[in-house]
């Protein structure tokens, strides 16, 4: 039994202000390690034999060397394909979600809406769709209340650990550290035990992947980088993906 854990920073426990993410505060990175390790412990306590962990925020240089539970293996996103079950630690809600801490999808600056086959998804949906293409379910998500609600709305009765509640977009009220870690550990533990109950997210292919940018020049720039993208209107680019094979197939 192998578990793949993707991490992000916005939905990490104790991260209560936008600046803590923007400036990669030491405390935010320490909490990233604590939340991640709580999930690793939960998975291993429940019987997982291997745990792969992806440092998934920004360029992926957030982990503090020496602080990841040594039983976990740090990895790239492709390792999803080898796993039996996926988790996301530190997730945030999709762009446009109200009362969500630092809601965005991929780019806080330029992406307004992201859709696959006409339905809006966030980053949680993107990982679920990528893993789902290989038959692997997403069974556990931690993050703010809105991120957890989004995950359950999309995937049904998966395990979630809500470690904070947004107060507007740029502030959050956080659970005490130990309480957050216990929630994450227990949700990870239950997810491994309940593995057979979860279904992979299946995206019908060929899939129509669309990004609505919030300014025309952002759409211009994206199309200059990839001229094969279809321009739908001033804000919107789209492409048709015959099959989802790589994570990048879900991006523009």
Taken as a whole, the chain contains a residue count of 252
User: What number of chain residues touch Zn ion (CB under 5 A)?
Assistant: 2
Q: How far is the CB of 106 from Zn ion (least distance, A)?
A: 7
Position among 6, 123, 150, 249 found at the interface with Zn ion (CB under 5 A): 123
Strand bridging mode 119-120 / 111-116: antiparallel
3-state secondary structure of 13: coil
8 versus 144: smaller Cβ distance to Zn ion = 8
CA nearest neighbour of 5 among 115, 133, 156, 159? 159
Whether 193 and 43 have beta carbons less than 8 Å apart is answered as: no
Q: How far is the CB of 150 from Zn ion (least distance, A)?
A: 12
Q: How far is the CB of 56 from Zn ion (least distance, A)?
A: 7
Selected range binding Zn ion among 7-15, 74-82, 228-236, 242-250, rule: CB under 5 A:
7-15
Selected range binding Zn ion among 64-72, 116-124, 132-140, 229-237, rule: CB under 5 A:
116-124
Q: How far is the CB of 71 from Zn ion (least distance, A)?
A: 25
- Taking CB atoms, the residue at the shortest distance from Zn ion is 8
48 versus 148: smaller Cβ distance to Zn ion = 148
Residue 106 neighbours by CB under 8 Å, 6+ apart? 114, 123, 251
Binding of Zn ion by 103 (CB under 5 A): no
Selected range binding Zn ion among 5-13, 114-122, 164-172, 233-241, rule: CB under 5 A:
5-13
Which residues does residue 174 pair with via DSSP β-bridges, in sequence order? Answer: 164
Position among 6, 8, 55, 144 found at the interface with Zn ion (CB under 5 A): 8
Residue 167 neighbours by CB under 8 Å, 6+ apart? 173
Which residues does residue 218 pair with via DSSP β-bridges, in sequence order? Answer: none
6 versus 48: smaller Cβ distance to Zn ion = 6
Binding of Zn ion by 35 (CB under 5 A): no
CA nearest neighbour of 235 among 248, 222, 250? 222
DSSP structure class, residue 175: -
CA nearest neighbour of 32 among 8, 53, 60? 8
Q: How far is the CB of 196 from Zn ion (least distance, A)?
A: 29
Contacting residues toward Zn ion, per CB under 5 A: 8, 123
């Amino acid at each position: 039994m192998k578990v793949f854990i993707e991490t992000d920073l916005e939905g990490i426990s104790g991260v209560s202000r936008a600046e803590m993410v923007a400036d990669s505060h030491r405390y935010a990175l320490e909490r990233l390690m604590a939340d991640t390790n709580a999930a690793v412990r939960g998975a291993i306590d429940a019987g997982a034999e291997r745990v792969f962990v992806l440092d998934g925020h920004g360029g992926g240089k957030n982990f503090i060397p020496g602080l990841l539970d040594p039983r976990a293996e740090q990895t790239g996103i492709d390792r999803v394909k080898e796993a039996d079950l996926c988790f996301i630690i530190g997730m945030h809600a999709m762009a446009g979600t109200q009362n969500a801490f630092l809601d965005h999808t991929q780019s806080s600056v330029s992406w307004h809406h992201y859709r696959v086959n006409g339905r809006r998804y966030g980053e949680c949906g993107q990982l679920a769709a990528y893993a789902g293409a290989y038959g692997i379910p997403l069974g556990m998500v931690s993050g703010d209340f809105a991120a957890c609600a989004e995950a359950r709305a999309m995937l049904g009765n998966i395990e979630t650990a809500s470690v904070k509640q947004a107060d507007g977009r740029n502030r959050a009220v956080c659970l005490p550290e130990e309480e957050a870690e216990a929630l994450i550990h227990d949700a990870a533990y239950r997810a491994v035990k309940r593995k057979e109950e979860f279904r992979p997210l299946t995206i019908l292919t060929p899939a129509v992947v669309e990004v609505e940018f919030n300014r025309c020049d952002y759409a211009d720039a994206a199309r200059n980088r990839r001229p094969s993208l279809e321009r739908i209107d001033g804000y919107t680019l789209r492409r048709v993906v015959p099959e989802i094979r790589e994570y990048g197939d879900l991006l523009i």
